[in-house]
Amino acid sequence: MIELNYDYSSLYENIDEIEKYLLENENDLTVLNFYKYFVNFFPVRKNLKFYFSNTDSLHNLVENGLNDIYSKRNIYKNTVDLFYSEIKRKLKLTIDNLNYISISIPSKEQQEILHSFFATAGVKLEKLFLKYEMENKIFHQPYSIGLDQTYGTVFYNPFSEEPVLFLDEADDSILEMSVIVHEFGHVLDYVTYNETHSNKETDIYGMLSPYAEVNSIYQEFKFYEYLLKNNIYKTSVKNNICEGMYEGYLEDLYNLSSPNKNIGNSVNKKFAFKNSVLYGYGLMIALSILDDSDTYDKFQEIRNPYFNENDLEKIGFTSDRISKVMIKKVNEYFGGSNDKTK
């Protein structure tokens, strides 16, 4: 595991600065939204005046985003239906045959693997990783946050204009390293989005967008493929890929987008559905651009807070193409036919 910062004094100072700012700018919903999320996440004293201010405005913004994602459920369902039954059998068989036991890799070796990977991952991402590492900006994730099986979290702080990164240790070293890469995918996503959008737009993108997990999953699978290519703990890598697809990303989307699943007006159920889209549909897009740098660049230009099927189709994301890519990738990772997909 890379070194984590347990000293939260700079974060407490930042919260104090935000509260002073909000005294005169209570209607700045962007900063207020970050404040509310952050004080819920982080063990810090809440200023109830700010915590309960503009509640209706923020609630309406979030719920409108949830409703937009849920209204497109037939699109997600039609896409995942094209391939999931076929790859599900292979994923389950792979899990059954692996008989996998978690591994523990020494911290020094983990650091060497991560540094070697980031050196291949593009100049901007490598610089961000080294900057956060050198400036001790990788914080230990508090245990009091109440998030199930969450080993990493990134918030975009519109006040300081930078992502705030938290990580926690995991029982399995490959999982631990993949989480690190995944979360730095979020850091890069926020930084590059903010280069062409305002702080408010960047905050809304992170809060509402169904694409908010695409770039993090993209980097995560770049890391997996780097390990497989270099013959580094291949069994553990395959297990992590398989479990992520079968027991998480795709299974939830396949089940929750079923026409029989009527979630009504339940906000909690809409959040659950949004997460299935973020990770399930996000995985489909991420794998579709994994080997296509041109489409990767085009996707960066169209990503925004709301799902737009027409924009995706214009750059080549049809349900048929996504289906072929998903089947191809599963066959690459776990054996099978090697169909070419354009």
pLDDT digits (tens, 9 = 90+) for 271-291: 888 998 999 999 999 999 999
Residue 243 falls within a domain, yes or no? yes
Predicted pLDDT at 94: 85
DSSP string, 89-147: HHHHHHHHHH--------HHHHHHHHHHHHTTS-HHHHHHHHHHHHTT-EEEPPGGG--
Share of residues in the chain with pLDDT > 90 (%): 50
Residue 340 falls within a domain, yes or no? no
- φ, ψ at 318 (rounded to 5°): -95, 160
Predicted pLDDT at 46: 67
Predicted pLDDT at 342: 31
Residue 1 falls within a domain, yes or no? no
**Residue written as tokens 């995991």?**
170
Residue 339 falls within a domain, yes or no? no
Of residues 183 and 257, more confidence is placed in 183
pLDDT band for position 215 (cuts 50, 70, 90): very high
- φ, ψ at 116 (rounded to 5°): -65, -40
Residues in the chain: 342
Predicted pLDDT at 56: 77
Highest-scoring range by mean pLDDT, 49-53, 220-224, 231-235: 220-224
Q: Which residues pair with 91 in a beta bridge?
A: none
User: Is residue 281 a contact partner of residue 79, using CB atoms and an 8 Å limit?
Assistant: yes
Question: Does pLDDT of 136 surpass 60?
Answer: yes
Question: Does pLDDT of 126 surpass 50?
Answer: yes
Q: In the predicted model, what is the mean pLDDT of residues 41-48?
A: 69
Q: Which two tokens stand for residue 173?
A: 């070293």
Q: In the predicted model, what is the mean pLDDT of residues 136-144?
A: 84
**pLDDT, the chain, mean:** 87
Q: Which residues pair with 165 in a beta bridge?
A: 138, 154
Predicted pLDDT at 30: 84
Residue 179 falls within a domain, yes or no? yes
Q: In the predicted model, what is the mean pLDDT of residues 105-134?
A: 97
pLDDT band for position 176 (cuts 50, 70, 90): very high
Residue 309 falls within a domain, yes or no? yes
User: Is residue 26 a contact partner of residue 32, using CB atoms and an 8 Å limit?
Assistant: yes
Residue 135 falls within a domain, yes or no? yes
Nearest to 213 by CA among 110, 327, 299: 299
| Domain tally, the chain | 1
Q: In the predicted model, what is the mean pLDDT of residues 252-256?
A: 80
Pairing of strands 162-167, 152-157: antiparallel
pLDDT band for position 39 (cuts 50, 70, 90): confident
Q: In the predicted model, what is the mean pLDDT of residues 48-58?
A: 71
Q: In the predicted model, what is the mean pLDDT of residues 335-340?
A: 46
Give the pLDDT confidence of 152-163 residue by residue, as tens digits. Answer: 999 999 888 899
Determine the residue type at 119.
A
Question: Could you tell me how far CA 214 lies from the centroid of its own chain?
Answer: 6
Predicted pLDDT at 37: 81
- φ, ψ at 40 (rounded to 5°): -70, -40
For 110, 130, 326, the CA distances from 84, given in Å and listed in that order, are 33, 38, 9
User: Could you tell me the residue range of the domain that residue 65 belongs to?
Assistant: 9-334
Beta strands in the chain (DSSP E): 138-140, 152-157, 162-167
Predicted pLDDT at 135: 96
Residue 4 falls within a domain, yes or no? no
Q: Which two tokens stand for residue 255?
A: 């089940």
What's the sign of the alpha-carbon dihedral 339, 298, 129, 163? negative
Q: Which two tokens stand for residue 72?
A: 């497109």
Q: What is the Cβ-side half-sphere exposure of residue 255, based on CA atoms within 13 angstroms?
A: 12
Q: How far apart are the first and last CA of the chain?
A: 38
Question: Does pLDDT of 341 surpass 70?
Answer: no
Predicted pLDDT at 175: 93
